[in-house]
Structure 1
Amino acid sequence: MPAKRIKILYISRTSKFTGAENILLDIVKYIDKKAFHPVVVLPDSKGLFYEKLIQSGIDTIIVKMPFLRVTYNPFLILWFAVSIIAENIAFLFIIIRLRADIITCHTIQEAFYLSIPAKLLRKKLIICFKNILNKKWKKYIRAKFAGLFADKIIAVSKKASKDFTDFNTERVNKAKVEVVYDCLDYGEYVKNICQKPLDKFFKKKNGDFVIVNIGNITELKGQVLLVKSVAKEKLKDKNIRVILIGDIYDSKDLIYREKIIEMIKANNLEDKVFLAGYQENVRGILKSTDAIVHCPIIDDALPRVVLEGFASRNIVIATKVGGIPEMITDGYDGFLVEVSSDAIADKIYYVYKNRYNLKKIKENALKTLINKFSLKKQINDLEILYKHIN
């Protein structure tokens, strides 16, 4: 008689398809289905993530989940509290009905919705630390909550793990925290990839050096820093084009998007910097570009875009924050810079001037991807962890 499969609920608070959802899709697609039964829980069926899960044959259910945010409005705080209680009651019956063995939450918000039923039903709860919070009090609350309710903390980088270990005892840290890097399947990534012309953004000329920035349009991602860099005198007269790929995630980011547009106009960069919005076929675009500049202004735990840069043979320039130094060895497989428009401009200028002599950097980047960030390794590490805690 075959062994019972371990049923795992993966909770995602969005059906949009960004880097985190891309990684989760890889996990549920390639995990050993003979040993595990993955089920993904989404708040709605409106986004591309839902479509891709259904196309991949992954069991997916819809459970409405309110989007929580920091507020000092007492009425909103009360509404959040009532919503969290209601969600915990709803998930109590869902967990019972689905007979889940393990529940994995990709943010602390998701854990708020089901931590109590997980405890009551003695189900194993995993909380992933996929981002690095920017306020000490937020770090403290998340770490203490996770320490109390989670059976395991999966941190996507050593830097991200410090958001937990800095606020808990050594005994708790040793028992609960494990670093498992998010990875990328290189073979699958390059399979059937077609170069996508850049004509919809601009008419590319011979000698153009094309930089791409990928990420939600939000202040923390630092797109303004990149625009400032390209506006510097040393770059302004060079045939450098920049494509900003990504859309706003929250309505509050509309102001930031307008700030980018105003800065482009103020520096006469309309023919150099292009806001492309959300693009589904990023792989095809990256086949036509020369470099990725990823410039978050605060800690970024482990950005997938760096791995996509390695896979697409783009030179990667990234700010030296969060878990990025765990991904890039400066001068070996990419370049690290300080959070400064001058530093970014200097490195762009260096790569631009030496672009035909950086083949070794690209080769090393591919080695790093295959040896350190292979999806096979991530899946294997997760399967061992799931079997161990179950």
Structure 2
Amino acid sequence: MKEAFEIARLIRKSLRGELSGQEEKILSDWRQASRDNEAAFQEMTSGSFYTDGTELWETFDFRVAYGRFLQRKFQQCRSRRLLFRVARVAAVVLPLTIAIVLYIGLGKESVPATNYAAAATILPGTSKAVLTTGDGNTIMLGQEYSDSTIIADGMRIDASTSGLTYAGISGNSALVYNKLEIPRGGEFCLTLSDGTKVWLNSATSIQYPVAFGTKERRVFVQGEAYFEVAKDAKKPFIVQFMSSAVTVLGTSFNVRAYPEEGHSLTTLAEGSVCITGGDNTISIKPGEQVEVDALSGDMVKREVEVRDFTSWKDGRFVFVRRPLEEIMRTLERWYDIRVVFKDEEAKRISLSGDLRRYDNFSRVVEMLGLTGDARFEIKGNDVYITTE
């Protein structure tokens, strides 16, 4: 149990981004020692673990929690061999579960309470968007509106509750642009006339031709979007944002370009892309990212874990040692809330986490409260954060 408490301490520090170099090595060695250890680590760094952990501390019935863990895992497994493996993993997780819950719980009285009841009224975003056609008409789209077929700008547009698909062919040789805007608290999926798929995050807009020309396929983005570009060797696909542009033939990548953040991030999942900013041009390969300063055009290339920057389209929020100010900007757009930091120190708190995107805000703020030193005060849709 002594080792479990030490690992529990290191995992908690890892989630808060506070590990020293030596502690990182100890935790890494423990994870690599066996597949069971790695599975236990993944279990405990998931968003649901901390909610379960809070309940565990309050009831203090570890046998019930152990039974729930086994039951959940048994339901997911379909073979006898996997069932035995789950039992081994559970044997690793149980003492660490006890240790982490105790480790967090022992200091619980010193952590100010958060009004989770108020947070529970803040719901996650939904599928919604506003389409502006070439003639200036606006059409509301999303879960609140029924599926429909739109005839506009010489194109047939199929609109579902979750996406938009350009299915017809325009006979007009001139480029006619449509614009799709996703509000705060929204998301949407777009399939362009060439078959390219675009996932659009909250507070994002994209302007695009209803049918592409003969030389290139160019779209304009503000906000965050994930692209799966249809291959066409004769017509490069160009995404233009801020003072930068990404040029590809066929690939998958994420662009984050919110003007208020002062920089853009292009993260490559598959294929290859070329990023241009000012007088500079950089090519990247999968697993690499380029950051471009919006004012100077300065570019920085780095290796990253792609999932940390693309998981939003798959229903997760993954933060790895990110400042709380940055995390809350992302949550602010998705939950359509207003975040106010009462002191500068709270902005710099570094946190890590893997959160479910479609959880109510109460689940998210509960995990953030357990893994950091911040206090959350919620009044309506206003969230006040302090370290006091």
- TM-score band by shorter chain is under 0.3
Q: Which has a greater percent of helix?
A: 1
TM-score normalized with structure 2 length: 0.22
- Computing the radius of gyration from Cα coordinates, the structure with the larger value is 2
TM-score normalized with structure 1 length: 0.22
